[in-house]
Amino acid sequence: MARRTEPPDGGWGWVVVLSAFFQSALVFGVLRSFGVFFVEFVAAFGEQAARVSWIASIGIAVQQFGSPVGSALSTKFGPRPVVMTGGILAALGMLLASFATSLTHLYLSIGLLSGSGWALTFAPTLACLSCYFSRRRSLATGLALTGVGLSSFAFAPFFQWLLSHYAWRGSLLLVSALSLHLVACGALLRPPSLAEDPAVGGPRAQLTSLLHHGPFLRYTVALTLINTGYFIPYLHLVAHLQDLDWDPLPAAFLLSVAAISDLVGRVVSGWLGDAVPGPVTRLLMLWTTLTGVSLALFPVARVPTALVALAVAYGFTSGALAPLAFSVLPELVGTKRIYCGLGLLQMIESIGGLLGPPLSGYLRDVTGNYTASFVVAGAFLLSGSGILLTLPDFFSCFSTTTSRPQDLVTEAPDIKVSLPKEGLEED
């Protein structure tokens, strides 16, 4: 079969979008709704909030820190068998967690084993999707990640209902059955046949070039800071509302409200990312700043109307930044390095996912409420948005042309925008 020189911008890529949709739902939808289990684990094991927070924190960190392994295996064997194996591991971890008798068992089963399965699914799937799209990459990524919003809307009250009928052990068994559907998602993956670029080199050469790539490193630091505060509402908002004397079911429903807004934000942001001229980084910085502000305002809100309004604002802006965060990366490093780049990015930003929830729980234990937790989480996002200002072309004039990878390609200085596409490739 003839190899394409550019992504097809469609075709089987839409099936990959469907696969990524369900895969993101079964990974991050479960993670975002895990705050419902948080209260149950605190009561069941009689532990402090900081220690219980390590369950989800380890899972997020392993998922991200292990992403380079999933990327390397996908480069060698293809994404399909890797993602299918990850689905089995994720389901097995939840299954073993239902028999846990201590927090250590949950650290190992959900945090380590399920986290390893998630590491083998997310990065390879999203990298495969990026190889299929160029002009419509932001939209395709936004549609794929809407699975997170839909599942968060459904899973939060659904998990609360399961807990009220089957307790936390029976609920984890059913979550294990849901996670097994990741195997079917992996079976749908088929990377496009693109022409090889000999200048890209093997995984070691790609890793070396990325570690010397200034914009990529700054972008990684920015996303690490963003990741530190990003998941805090989904882990601790239910507990915060219960501190305000909310009943568990209405508190879980507020997560569903945020999830609906998240869903809308992802679709709108994906469309704007392709439609608005100029670097996608500008939109990413806007949504990140608004997310940080809404997080910091949560402790101020006391009445239900204000809390619902903040949940809608947080859901929309946090959902809007997600597809753009992954759309910026191919513009920085190019699609040929996307597997290695995405894996390395996920590994480094796992530091934020590892430290954020326990820090939030620690601040709750020290202060007796979640005020400092939400304010500090918002500060982390605002710091990350500030670093985004340093990325290439952020302050350049608006242009309808797509950004090309920075520092990893060499362009002739006399190339003009008006030249035909073939001429650019030859130069």
Q: Which domains does the chain show, CATH number per domain?
A: 11-192 (1.20.1250.20), 202-394 (1.20.1250.20)
CA distances from 216 to 49, 212, 287, 340, 408 (A): 35, 9, 20, 12, 10
Spans in the chain with pLDDT lower than 70? 1-8, 193-203, 335, 396-427
Amino acid at 173: L
Q: Which residues contact 305 (CB under 8 A, 6 or more apart)?
A: none
pLDDT for the residue numbered 2: 45
pLDDT for the residue numbered 424: 38
Classify residue 234 as exposed, middle or buried by CB count within 10 Å of its CB (0-12, 13-18, 19+).
Answer: buried
User: Could you tell me the end-to-end alpha-carbon distance of the chain, in angstroms, rounded to an integer?
Assistant: 26
pLDDT for the residue numbered 130: 79
Rounded CA-CA distance 107/110 in Å is 6
Of the candidates 358, 243, 357, the one whose C-alpha atom is nearest the C-alpha of residue 298 is 243
Q: Could you tell me where the DSSP H helices lie in 66-121?
A: 67-77, 79-97, 103-106, 115-119
Rounded CA-CA distance 294/315 in Å is 9
pLDDT for the residue numbered 427: 39
pLDDT for the residue numbered 397: 55
Helix axes 248-275, 232-243, angle to 10 degrees: 150
Neighbours of 417 (CB within 10 A): 8
Amino acid at 265: G
Name the residue with tokens 């903040």: 310
pTM: 0.69
pLDDT tens digits for range 75-107: 778 889 999 999 999 999 999 999 988 889 999
pLDDT tens digits for range 280-289: 888 899 999 9
pLDDT for the residue numbered 422: 41
Classify residue 184 as exposed, middle or buried by CB count within 10 Å of its CB (0-12, 13-18, 19+).
Answer: middle
